[in-house]
Chain A
Amino acid sequence: AQTVTQSQPEMSVQEAETVTLSCTYDTSESDYYLFWYKQPPSRQMILVIRQEAYKQQNATENRFSVNFQKAAKSFSLKISDSQLGDAAMYFCAYGGNQFYFGTGTSLTVIP
């Protein structure tokens, strides 16, 4: 069965600094997608970034980028120039034959 593991329940970063959130997954599938979702205090789930497993190039969206290591089954999210509005819960998610979420990492941004 596929599983998604986020080993950092909480992280903090100084405003304007860079932070990396970790995610590992386990799968026997060869074709799948990986996602990072952001959940601010409003509870709305917002897609941050998406990575296709067949693409070697790491996805980027403005200040957000991923480090996708397919062999290691690792999918970390890097947030550059952190802003106060980045404070939220971040969920890593796996999309293959089924869809699974990790347990989340709570990010605090310190002014």
Chain B
Amino acid sequence: NAGVTQTPKFRVLKTGQSMTLLCAQDMNHEYMYWYRQDPGMGLRLIHYSVGEGTTAKGEVPDGYNVSRLKKQNFLLGLESAAPSQTSVYFCASSSGLAGVKRETQYFGPGTRLLVL
């Protein structure tokens, strides 16, 4: 049981380049989330999904897009990377909606992204 996995683990981008971060979970969870973690700021929610084919904005959605074409996968895209998007990105999943339904989230190992 792999839980939540993220690909890649580390990436360096130049300003203006695009990339996609992949999150996969094998727990049959309905809900998935993308966070970014910056020094001194904790984790902030970028986007989340309440089920296959649905997505919603979180606290800091600007500059990111997401897709949930399959229940087990949640993709985070950066169309035109900026240095301000240098961060560590975490994916999480839960059986119920964290917050509203108070469910525990299970986190992936994180992706470190550096935008030059």
Taking beta carbons and an 8 Å cutoff, which residues of A are in contact with B?
A: 4, 9, 32-33, 35, 37, 42-47, 50, 52, 91, 95-99, 101-104
Contacts and interface: CB of A to CB of B under 8 A. Distances in A.
**Residue from B88, B105, B108 whose CB has the most chain A CB atoms within 10 Å:** B105
Interface residues of B, number: 23
Contacts of B35: 101
Given A4-B42, A43-B110, A96-B99, 16 more contacts: A9-B40, A35-B104, A43-B109, A44-B109, A44-B110, A45-B43, A45-B92, A45-B105, A52-B102, A95-B99, A97-B99, A97-B100, A98-B45, A98-B99, A99-B45, A99-B99
Interface of chain B: mostly helix, strand, loop or mixed? loop
Contact of A43 (B88, B92, B106): B88
Given A33-B102, A95-B99, A99-B98, A44 B43 contact: no
B34 interface: no
B97 to A, nearest CB: 9
B107 A91 contact: no
B107 A45 contact: yes
Contacts of A98: 45, 99
Contacts of A43: 88, 109-110
B82 to A, nearest CB: 23
A50 B96 CA distance: 15
Contacts of A42: 109
B42 A101 contact: yes
